Chains A and B, each alone.
Chain A
């Protein structure tokens, strides 16, 4: 036959995939726009009925309420400042919470794999109880049934330190900076840089010679040396200890952890710690037995096996779920509102109750959490890329 079969037969318009997909997306966009316009119109109408003007101008007005925790705040300061303090309070909980939860999770996760039956069972019971009850219930328990049942100021529980624990909060010794503190701080910054250089140098030497150099140890030693030497070189000590003492009806001095902060911190740490424990356990169990046996056969000592063979491989399994646990901790810190800790969510709620600007406040709250979540996951993703298995 002479006729040539075309390789691209003419497809009718209504069956052309490109046309169909473009059309489908166009319809989708139109539907979204219509729904959006409908909702926007309703919101506008509702706001007009309430006589509210949309916009963030109200944030400049004086707040008129007190904040019981965190940086100093006067009721005459603006709503914007109040919200900022909420953000700071949230970050205070998240920062310490992540560190403590990671430590607790590591200990509990390793304990679950312990060859000691009793220790393994206790860790398992801890994990099972915490994971199967709601966080809010645990927060209530810590706040109402533990912290608020502590003795009053006169009968404070004294822990070594001295740390005083009573119903008004937990008082720990702290340090007050003196006039030479600025110089010492600069010395510390130099110390960090020196430690970093030492670390990098040893790491390069390790790569060149193939030996184990304990880079973190030497880096830490360099930093400690810098800190100690500069402390004694300076004319007076840069920090003086500030021990809480009972004066009148309350303890003064030292650093105080408010009952709300303590309850929130304990609740979040114990809750997230249980989840991290399971992640750590799964990570360690994911390293195949052959790896350990091979490392032992090469003559590595047990601790080195853990440090050089098991842990780097377990880390790859651990990091991604750990990221989501950190994010969960950050998001769960919003439950502070239930026990009256002034975090960003609860201050946002107060501002909403006073001003009625629902739209603005909720967008601010969501934006703050989104920023925190996205930053955390970005940082941990970068770290994850570094430890990830490089596949050929």
Chain B
């Protein structure tokens, strides 16, 4: 056989490949697209140039640097802040060990936390703070090493249990105990900043979950009284603004309770959030319940399971698995909505910003503070939204 010479191929024209081709295809494909591109570029320049100039030269970022501790933990006593660091380290350790145990599924999460710690350690904080951030990276690494050890299978259960216990642990650690000297009680009035924002969101979603599931089951119940009650609750709560529910919780709750019971303001706000979010969680769960095919009920019934067992063993597990992503979405919106506690004068992240701005030393620095706060909220919300998308893929929702 004679070797066949490769036919000589013409190269594509220079205007349809490479950078030029990309530009032509994506920015200048038609005359009006080209016009649109040029107008947009001009507008972008007109907008970004002053913004960047301000950000790099005129902006007085010291308002952020000076009040960083306030933004993070509010009035939390300085000598007790190490308790909060401990919470952060435990989170890092848990993430690392989950990575070690389960591998790829937790890798992004653990790497993100660890590298965030290392990145913050590089920023020009005081040496003490930088070492503490370095500790987060160390905690993740240590967790990874521990997770990689050839442990028996039950270690996985320990880690799962640790994850479940993590939030109660954080609450206990932050709040402290009455009679333990090493862990004195920190009054909730002193909680503030990002710490309060996170605690409100976590408590809100954790406690509203069981209520939401019950409400969803109630709304799908065959018993008219229970169905009516649950429907009424869900529709009323979803029809009014969160502010009014918070306002009600903060003003009316003391009226509704006997005189001798006093509930402090943070707990009142938490109750308001739980009441509010439960209705939304219920609608999410109801969606999940509706997604479980009828055949599942019938098959479970045919196997001889009773009503509650059909629900608990067959339907709910499938329904809840389907609603995990929308629950994360709910958590993200709750995380943003915690800012509304500023209206009932709790000092969450946003309201700390307002009180810093009220300080005459930082008069008129609204832009600096708001840009910083927006960046902070954005990083957390976006990271959680990203995690939710990954989770959706991992769980294969909508594919089974």
Contact = CB atoms under 8 A, between A and B. Distances in A.
The answer to whether A and B assemble together is yes
Residue of A115, A137, A369, A374 with most partner-chain B CB within 10 A: A137
Interface string B213-255: 0000000001111100100000010111111100110011011
Interface string B1-45: 000000000000000000000000011010001001100110010
Given A144-B366, A331-B242, A122 B44 contact: yes
Contacts of A115: 26, 29, 33
A24 B350 contact: no
Interface in A127-160: 128-129, 131-138, 140-141, 144-145, 149
A358 B247 CA distance: 10
A362 B256 contact: no
A145 B373 contact: no
Nearest to B26: A117
Given A21-B223, A134-B350, A136-B340, A362 B247 contact: yes
Contacts of B248: 362, 366
A266 to B, nearest CB: 14
Contacts of B41: 118
A319 B164 CA distance: 39
Contacts of A366: 236, 240, 244, 248
A132 B350 contact: no
Residue of A43, A116, A119, A369 with most partner-chain B CB within 10 A: A116
A89 interface: no
Given A116-B37, A118-B41, A145-B366, A133 B26 contact: no
A25 interface: yes
B124 to A, nearest CB: 26
Bin chain A's interface residue count.
35 or more
Interface in A24-60: 24-25, 28-29, 32, 39, 42-43, 45-47, 49
A365 B37 CA distance: 48
A332 B242 CA distance: 8
Given A29-B225, A133-B381, A136-B340, A119 B252 contact: no
A285 B40 CA distance: 24
Interface stretch (A197-205, A209-217, A245-253, A333-341): A333-341
Nearest to B381: A132
B198 interface: no
A133 B33 CA distance: 31
Residue of B243, B353, B366, B381 with most partner-chain A CB within 10 A: B243
Contact of A28 (B229, B256, B366): B229
Contacts of A131: 381
Residue of A47, A332, A366 with most partner-chain B CB within 10 A: A366
A25 B26 contact: no
A3 B240 CA distance: 63
Contacts of B255: 42-43, 46-47, 358-359
A39 B255 CA distance: 8
B104 interface: no
Contacts of A175: none
Contacts of A286: none
B160 to A, nearest CB: 30
A352 interface: yes
Contact of B226 (A25, A45, A333): A25
B61 interface: no
Contacts of A96: none
B258 interface: yes
B244 A338 contact: no
Contact of B377 (A25, A128, A137, A374): A137
11 contacts: A24-B223, A25-B226, A118-B40, A132-B381, A132-B382, A137-B370, A141-B370, A332-B241, A334-B243, A373-B240, A374-B239
Given A119-B40, A366-B236, A369-B241, 20 more contacts: A21-B223, A25-B223, A39-B256, A42-B256, A46-B255, A116-B29, A116-B37, A122-B40, A132-B378, A133-B374, A136-B340, A136-B342, A140-B366, A140-B370, A141-B370, A334-B244, A337-B243, A345-B243, A352-B251, A373-B240
In order of increasing CB-CB distance, the 7 nearest A-B pairs are A117-B26, A132-B381, A331-B241, A373-B239, A334-B241, A134-B339, A134-B336
Interface of B: 26-27, 29, 33, 36-37, 40-41, 44, 222-226, 229, 236, 238-244, 247-248, 251-252, 254-259, 332, 336-337, 339-340, 342-343, 350, 353-354, 357, 366-367, 370, 373-374, 377-378, 381-382, 385
